[in-house]
Structures are given as structure tokens and as C-alpha cells.
Amino acid sequence: MLYYLFQYLNEIDFPGAGLFGYVSFRAALATLISLIIAWMFGGRIIRLLRKQQVGETIRDLGLDGQMAKQGTPTMGGLIIIAAILIPTLLVCKLDNIYVIIMLIATVGFGAIGFIDDYIKVFRKNKEGLAGKFKVVGQVILGLIIALILSFHPDVVIKEKVETNGLIAADDIRIDENGNIYQWKEAKSSKTTIPFVKDNEFDYGWLLAWMGDNYMSWVWIIFIPIVILIITAVSNGANMTDGLDGLAGGSSAIIGVTLAVFAYLSSNFIFADYLNIMYIPNAEELVIFMGAFIGACVGFLWYNSYPASVFMGDTGSLAIGGIIAVLAVAIRKELLIPVFCGIFLVENLSVMLQVGYFKYTKKRFGEGKRVFLMAPLHHHYQKLGIHESKIVSRFWIVGVMLAILSIVTLKIR
């Protein structure tokens, strides 16, 4: 909203109004507003949750200090969602398709998590929303987002095409070899493959056997892949939310990584230099991620050890969905196992634990475990490592994975 106001003020030469034309300024402003909202209103929301007796019910798993968290307010994801939505609505271009997609993801996944938390807290059902209904909600949201990404005319990339230079266009350039080219807009189903020199993969190639018109059917492949990615990452974030500050801090690190990718992909100079896909209008995602980073960091003010509030599924499903959707939008979904490595390992630890237990029980009559407890962070708790040290070390690993992800832009 403020963007359009300052755009008008700039047209009448109001001093300083032109700053809103810079993505960097609006991203910094969104981050600052988000931090202030989380910090100033977080305490009020926590007091309201306490008044409503929205406390976490803890099952005794034999973990050190676990039962001391009994009754700590949950549904703190409301703080994160508010700190994302308000700066986005104030600072972003609201007619930008990528902003619209991210708003759908934030509200949609937040709503699924809220319903789950509501059932746990107010209906006194520890299981919360039945798993099948949770997955159905994730699939429906994934389908909506995948359809928009597949068919909306504004979701395009620009590719370098050589020209004779006779075409009048603002985006005509000359490369280091003297070749004249321009950025040509096109619908595309390409994505980025990390660590590969010619690092673009087109989902349509999987349908090449269908004949000359195979590209018109690429959505058959793309949509299920998007749904799978969104469901997996949102559940991965949910698994990671088990220690004070773990999910929030890890998500902030991932957010910085995605903001860097979005900025580079939306700038044709950097896109050309790094030989990555140029995605026009994706610069608004940098601003959205600024709000996302501010929300996660601001939430840590109350969620760091010892936590005054838990984000609950309201927050964890929302941040997981946001990360997945944005990664797909900027064509970096195949890098998710790297920069979301923490989420991936947490998810895999549960799958390995459950799978191995069932296998050994069927084979030997007695179930055995790979880890002392899953998800992985509980395994380290069982080893006697303090909660805050586990979280700090996971953050360090997250930073290392973020750096590795960014380095893949040059290592091929």
C-alpha cells in the first residue's frame, strides 16, 4: 500500500519518495517493520494466549528439562504470520503475481497449522488434525500454487537470444565476444541443477517421447513435483520444531539464502554474469523474504531458550510452505536438499527410525532403533547434550549449508 502512495508522491517530486523505487530499500524496510511487529506485539500475543490458556501439552519422553515446558503458550506462529503479512501488504507491489502466490502460501499453510493447534489445545486432542486431512490441505494448496506457476502469463523467464541488433529494445546487450543479444520473454518449465555446468533442466524433457507437441503437456509432470516438494518441506519444518529456537533460527538462515537467490535471479546483470535464469518481477520476492527473515528473527526474541512461546504447527507449517513455494518460484527447488539440509535430515531420521523399527520387529520379533530417539535433535538430547548447544550447532550447520548453496552459483 505504501508503495503506491510513494509512487504517487514521487510523480509530484516529493523529496525522498524515490527511495521506494529501490528494492534494497524496501527489503530493508520490510525487515525492520517485521522485527518491530514481532518484538512489540509478540509479548501482547503471548499474554493473550496465556489468558486463553493456550498452553502446550507435553508428553514425558524422558528428556532433560522437557516437563518444565508444560503449559508454555503455543500457536506463537501467529506472531510470525502477522510479522510477515503486515510488512508485505505495506511495502510490496500487491499486483505482482509472485507476491500473490506467497500470500496464498502464508495464509493457507498457516490456516492448516492453526486448525491443527486449535484441535490440540481447545478440543484437548493431543493428535490434532488427522494426518490425512493435513496432507489433503497441503496437496490442495500445492495444486493451486502449481496451477498458477504453470499457467499464469506473468510467470515467465527471460532467455538470451542472439539478434542482428536491428530490433529496438531496451534489453539489447553485447557480450564479451561482441555478439549482440537480447532478453526474450518466454513461458518455461526449466529449473536449476546444482553443481552442473549447463545447469538447466526442463521438466518437459521427461515427456519428449510424446512427440512434437510434448511441451504443452509439461504441467502433468510439473504439478505433482511441486505438490511433493511443498508437502515434504512443510512437514520437514514441522519435524524441526522441537527445540527452543531451532526451527525459527534455521528458517531465518534459509530465508537469507533464498533472498540472495531471488535478488540475483531478478537482476539481468547478475543473471547474465552468473549464467542463471533471469526471472522478471521476482525482485518483489526479495522484499517478501525480508519480512520473512525479520519475522523469524523477531520470533526468536521470545522463542530462544528458555522459550516463552512455541510457534506450533501454525508457524512451522507456514514457514515450511513459504520456503518450498519460493524455492519453486525462483527455480531453485533442486537445491532444497542443500539449503534445507536441516529439515531433510530431521525428516529422514524419523523415516529411518520408523522404517527400521517396523522391519526389525517383523523380521526378528523385536523392534530396534537407529537413533536413541527421533527426530534427530532428540537423539542428541538423549546423549546428554544441552538443548541450547544442540540448537547452536544446528544453526552453524545451517549457515554452512547456506554458504554451500550460494557457492553453487559458481561451482559447476
Contacts of 134 (CB under 8 A, 6+ apart): 112, 116
Query: Residue 303: pLDDT above 60?
Result: yes
d(CA 240, CA 342): 8
394 belongs to a structural domain = no
DSSP 374: S
Q: Give the pTM.
A: 0.91
Tally of helices (H runs) and strands (E runs) in the chain? 14, 5
What residues form DSSP beta bridges with 202?
A: 190
* Cell numbers for 364: 526378528
Beta strands in 148-289 (DSSP E): 157-162, 172-174, 180-186, 190-192, 200-202
Q: Judge whether 198 lies within some domain.
A: yes
Q: What is residue 298's predicted lDDT score, i.e. its pLDDT?
A: 95
Please indicate, yes or no, if residue 407 is contained in any of the structural domains: no
Q: How far apart are CA 117 and CA 134, in angstroms?
A: 12
Query: Which pLDDT score is estimated for 177?
Result: 62
Return the C-alpha cell found at 301: 526474541
Residue 286 belongs to a domain? yes
Q: How confident is the model at residue 79 (pLDDT cuts 50, 70, 90)?
A: very high
* Domain presence at residue 161: yes
Contacts (Cβ under 8 Å, ≥6 apart) of 102: 88, 285, 288, 322, 325, 326, 329
Q: What is the mean pLDDT of residues 151-156?
A: 92
Q: Given this model, what pLDDT does residue 178 score?
A: 62
| Structural domain boundaries enclosing 170 | 2-337
In a domain, 48, yes or no: yes
Q: What is the pLDDT of residue 334?
A: 92
pLDDT at 141: 96
How many domains, in total, are found in the chain? 1
* Residue 353: inside a domain: no
* Other residues' Cβ atoms within 10 Å of the Cβ of residue 137: 21
167 has a pLDDT exceeding 60: no
Range in 55-64, 115-124, 290-299, 367-376 the model is least confident about:
55-64
- Residue 105 falls within a domain, yes or no? yes
